[in-house]
A and B are shown apart, each in its own frame.
Chain A
Amino acid sequence: VQLMQSGAQVTKPGASVKVSCKASGDTFSGYYVHWVRQAPAQGLEWMGRINHRGGGTNFAQTFHGRVTMTRDTSTTTVYLDLNSLRPDDTAIYYCVTEAQWGWFDSWGPGTLVTVSS
């Protein structure tokens, strides 16, 4: 499956951002879509996942209270909302599909979110 993400965004500290991820071919593979972020010149950080069929979510403890993940089954799109943004939230945000047994088989192109005053 190919994943398409929304475009880059620049936003201010304290604001919120919403990033979308749409599957080509009108379906995601597997059950879960994950969000993974990568700060500039840094490694990969798992944020959470959404069951794109049932809507259930799991989040990394780091983001509890600041992150929401939703899905629109009619458009085969999932969304990441992150609020109370800080400059250190500046990163590329990737949506990723999970293969049947748990590895990450398809990655979106990424969405750069810049948080700056």
Chain B
Amino acid sequence: DIVLTQSPASLAVSLGERATINCKSSQSVFFTSNNKNYLAWYQQSPGQPPKLLLYWASTRESGVPDRFTGSGSGTDFTLTISSLQPEDVAVYYCQQYYETPPTFGQGTKVEIK
């Protein structure tokens, strides 16, 4: 199985400041035939199910604010929140759908400093 390792486990950021979350895969999730990275990001607000933020590593789901940006390729990926808002307090997960079983990172908790 592909192992995804997120860092840090938690971070506290001031409102309006940048938050950066990393996700490292144990093997490449880049598919050469279509030039796509099979990686998604989810946001889980307290008491809620996860919500899809990004797929193909950097494509925002409809309705997701543009302060959420995904980058990276192959085995190393980053989720950046450019200007943290109160509603962004959540746990963020990366997930690979390159192969079955799909696997998740262990999550990164984002809080307000």
Cβ–Cβ contact A46 & B50, under 8 A: no
Q: How many A residues have CB within 8 A of the partner chain?
A: 20
- Partner-contacting stretch, out of B19-27, B74-82, B95-103: B95-103
Q: How many B residues have CB within 8 A of the partner chain?
A: 23
Cβ–Cβ contact B97 & A103, under 8 A: yes
B85 at the binding interface (Cβ < 8 Å): no
In the assembled complex, the CB of B40 is this many whole angstroms from the nearest CB of chain A, namely: 4
| Interchain pairs with CB closer than 8 A, number | 52
Residues of B within 8 A of A31 (CB): none
B73 at the binding interface (Cβ < 8 Å): no
Cβ–Cβ contact A60 & B49, under 8 A: no
Closest to A95 in B: B49
In the assembled complex, the CB of A25 is this many whole angstroms from the nearest CB of chain B, namely: 18
Query: Which chain A residues numbered 90 to 117 have a C-beta less than 8 Å away from chain B?
Result: 94, 99, 101-105, 107-110
In the assembled complex, the CB of A66 is this many whole angstroms from the nearest CB of chain B, namely: 16
Bound Cα distance from A44 to B56, whole angstroms: 20
Residues of B within 8 A of A49 (CB): 100
In the assembled complex, the CB of B106 is this many whole angstroms from the nearest CB of chain A, namely: 5
Residues of B within 8 A of A108 (CB): 49
Partner among A44, A94, A99, A109 whose Cβ is within 8 Å of the Cβ of B55 = A99
Partner among A102, A105, A109, A110 whose Cβ is within 8 Å of the Cβ of B102 = A102
Residues of A within 8 A of B49 (CB): 94, 107-110
Bound Cα distance from A105 to B106, whole angstroms: 19
In the assembled complex, the CB of B19 is this many whole angstroms from the nearest CB of chain A, namely: 19
5 contacts between A and B (CB under 8 A): A45-B104, A49-B100, A104-B42, A104-B102, A107-B49
